[in-house]
Chain A
Amino acid sequence: MLMGPTGVEGFMYPNEVELQWSVLIVLYPFITGLVAGAFILASLERVFKVEAVKPTYRLALLTALAFLIVAPLPLQMHLGHPERSFEMYLTPHRSSAMAMFGFIYLWYLMVVLLVEIWLDYRAEIVHRSQTSKGLLKFVYTLLTLGSKNVSPGALRLDDRVGYIVTLIGIPSAFLLHGYVGFIFGSVKANAWWSTPLMPIVFLFSAMVSGIAAVMLIYMAVSWYQKRPIDMRCLDTIAKYLFYVFLIDFSLEMLDLVHRIYEADESFHSLDFMVHTRLFFSQVVLQIWIGTILPLALLAVTQVRTFTEAVRRGIYASAGLLTMVGIFAMRWNVVIGGQLFSKSYLGYTTYKLEFATREGLLPSILLMILPFLILWTLVKLLPPFEERHSL
């Protein structure tokens, strides 16, 4: 078969040549995955009482918030008419998987995450509203929402309500990301996406990426602030990462094996793709470098004992590889699902541009933004005790 000038091989329906969903839509499930994963890590401590991960509780919440704020931006930037996006709230179409996202997002942001963070930080916000000066004082005063009541009774109440919110938050986090999986998994026209496993796979990969992200951020922040790392905490996080990753990997392999064994009408096309256009991002990056390697690294730490420094090194590299693997997975789902023709007779290529609206540059900026937000949040609401300052 010949390669056409547009990168088309074989036959595509004429309207299919250009991809519909770009790298921005790769970011969207990647970012919401981080949100859901980070939140679930936080709730480990709160609801399942895994004491060891406590040092990262607040950091995980702030990470979730920082990424959640950015999550809708790639979607918004991708729309043909961003100025009309409010219509999703005005006239949401109940049968559309996408329409409900707006509501789940708002619910999760306003009712779960903000409330939980606020309740947890309230005492400190009140304190800072009285001790800080200038603009900061104003900001903190605003954040108190006009209540300065931090009596033990009030704090106890906050704690209980916070617990309930976390309890609601866990299914909400599941919903938030499982739902993103459903947006893809329910497209019957697309054989690469259409599988009931999609929401589950998305959910577990979300947890994997969220846990890995918080672990890395915890190490980075500790290093930056020259604060000793709580190794018991890190070991526990790594253990959870390992187990959740195992489940995630099994699910993905189940999907793969199922496809290979069933070998339905789409198989020839998908198989060809995995061996050619997706070989690097799917087989090399996602499966070998981004999954099997970090899994092996983590597995070694589970069966052998190492010094703290070695463990930290292993965790950091496993965490980084995991992030690469999960990003590759999102890429392979979103972009991979559009590289083959729905006629199963041809393939197209994705041309990633640089400084265009849906190019690489805005994507990089969008990935930097949550860290800037997180940096501000950490300054504003320190997740760790600060004995020296204030």
Chain B
Amino acid sequence: MFPVTSEHRRGNNPLTGQASNECDPACAKQARGDKGGSVPDSPLRNGAHLILLLAALLAGIAIFLVVRQAVIPEGFGLYGHYRAGALKDNRMKPVSFAGREVCAGCHFDPDEALRAGKHGKISCETCHGPQSAHAADPASGVPAKPNAQGLCRRCHESDAAKPAHFPQVASVSHSGGAACNSCHEPHKPGFAKIAGERSGKK
């Protein structure tokens, strides 16, 4: 069937020292001796160890399949190739930013002031930081007042990369170091305080 002959495989080169040269007859004799008789040269008998090997291999695969079924995580593959529970895990993360609506539920005035002015679209927590803990339980602590100076400049300091339509000031020349909220109301930056207090700029 195959072009392999014992001549090709065995005993040609003394260096390979194939077993057939020397030990084969001995081994074979011993093996026969062990069995205490002659071993018929039947293919079935001669292939027994191969069948055993195959059986072991198949058994290994079978065990793997059974174990796999048992330890595969629950719900895996329900929606796709992933653990269905991972969706819920991702949903269960805590929320830090409560959202403007929530703040407005208690703090009417800042909300109204904000809506009336140019800062109307800005969410409270953009300036006040994440406050869900405070919103859930105000008694747990009072949020620190934001540092107006740094806050305002971060958004309003002149910067060539900012869109031209966005109101920007060079704080040094605009206020000369004075606190921004001494003239501007953070919640309503365009009105109130400014009127009359400053003659002009630019």
**Direct A–B contact present (CB less than 8 angstroms):** yes
What is the interface of chain A, defined by CB distance below 8 A to chain B?
49, 51, 54-55, 57-58, 89-91, 93-94, 110-111, 115, 118, 122-124, 126-127, 130, 145-161, 163-164, 230, 384-387
Distance of A265 Cα from B34 Cα, bound (Å): 74
Q: Tell me the minimal C-beta distance from B163 to chain A in angstroms.
A: 22
Known: A163-B2, A384-B17, A385-B16. A149 touches B53 (CB 8 A): no
Interface of A: prevailing SS:
helix
- Are A163 and B4 in touch, CB under 8 angstroms? yes
- Are A149 and B39 in touch, CB under 8 angstroms? yes
Chain B 27-77 residues near chain A, CB threshold 8 A: 27-28, 30-32, 34-35, 39, 41-43, 45-50, 52-53, 56-57, 60, 64, 68, 71-73, 76-77
Tell me whether B26 is interfacial, beta carbon within 8 Å.
yes
- Are A90 and B27 in touch, CB under 8 angstroms? no
Contacts of A115 in B (CB 8 A): 53
Q: Which residue of B lies closest to A123 (CB)?
A: B19
- Are A149 and B64 in touch, CB under 8 angstroms? no
Q: Which residue of A lies closest to B15 (CB)?
A: A55
Contacts of A110 in B (CB 8 A): 57, 60
Distance of A89 Cα from B61 Cα, bound (Å): 12
What is the interface of chain B, defined by CB distance below 8 A to chain A?
1-2, 4, 6, 8-10, 12-17, 19-20, 23-24, 26-28, 30-32, 34-35, 39, 41-43, 45-50, 52-53, 56-57, 60, 64, 68, 71-73, 76-77, 81
- Are A126 and B31 in touch, CB under 8 angstroms? yes
How many residue-residue contacts, CB under 8 A, span A and B?
122
Contacts of A54 in B (CB 8 A): 12-13, 15-16
Contacts of A55 in B (CB 8 A): 13, 15-16
- Are A123 and B23 in touch, CB under 8 angstroms? yes
List 6 A-B pairs, Cβ < 8 Å: A91-B77, A126-B27, A127-B19, A149-B46, A161-B50, A384-B17
Q: Which of A90, A126, A149, A156 is B45 in contact with, Cβ under 8 Å?
A: A149
Distance of A84 Cα from B60 Cα, bound (Å): 21
Known: A145-B52, A150-B27, A154-B46. A159 touches B16 (CB 8 A): no
- Are A148 and B46 in touch, CB under 8 angstroms? no
Known: A55-B15, A89-B68, A230-B15. A147 touches B30 (CB 8 A): no
Known: A89-B64, A151-B46. 18 other contacts (CB 8 A): A91-B81, A94-B81, A115-B53, A118-B53, A127-B23, A127-B26, A127-B27, A147-B48, A152-B41, A153-B42, A154-B49, A156-B6, A157-B47, A158-B50, A159-B4, A163-B4, A164-B2, A385-B16
Q: Which residue of B lies closest to A229 (CB)?
A: B15
Q: Tell me the minimal C-beta distance from A122 to chain B in angstroms.
A: 8
Q: Which of A57, A150, A157 is B28 in contact with, Cβ under 8 Å?
A: A150
Q: Which residue of A lies closest to B83 (CB)?
A: A91
Known: A90-B68, A126-B31, A149-B45. A155 touches B20 (CB 8 A): yes
Q: Tell me the minimal C-beta distance from A94 to chain B in angstroms.
A: 8
Known: A153-B43, A384-B15. A159 touches B24 (CB 8 A): no
Q: Which residue of B lies closest to A110 (CB)?
A: B57
Distance of A163 Cα from B2 Cα, bound (Å): 8
Q: Which residue of B lies closest to A87 (CB)?
A: B73
Q: Tell me the minimal C-beta distance from B84 to chain A in angstroms.
A: 12
Q: Tell me the minimal C-beta distance from A242 to chain B in angstroms.
A: 23
Contacts of B57 in A (CB 8 A): 110-111
Distance of A8 Cα from B18 Cα, bound (Å): 59
Distance of A124 Cα from B23 Cα, bound (Å): 7
Contacts of B10 in A (CB 8 A): 159
Q: Tell me the minimal C-beta distance from A102 to chain B in angstroms.
A: 11
Contacts of A147 in B (CB 8 A): 48-49, 52
Distance of A146 Cα from B49 Cα, bound (Å): 8
The 4 tightest CB contacts between A and B, nearest first, are A385-B17, A147-B49, A123-B19, A154-B46
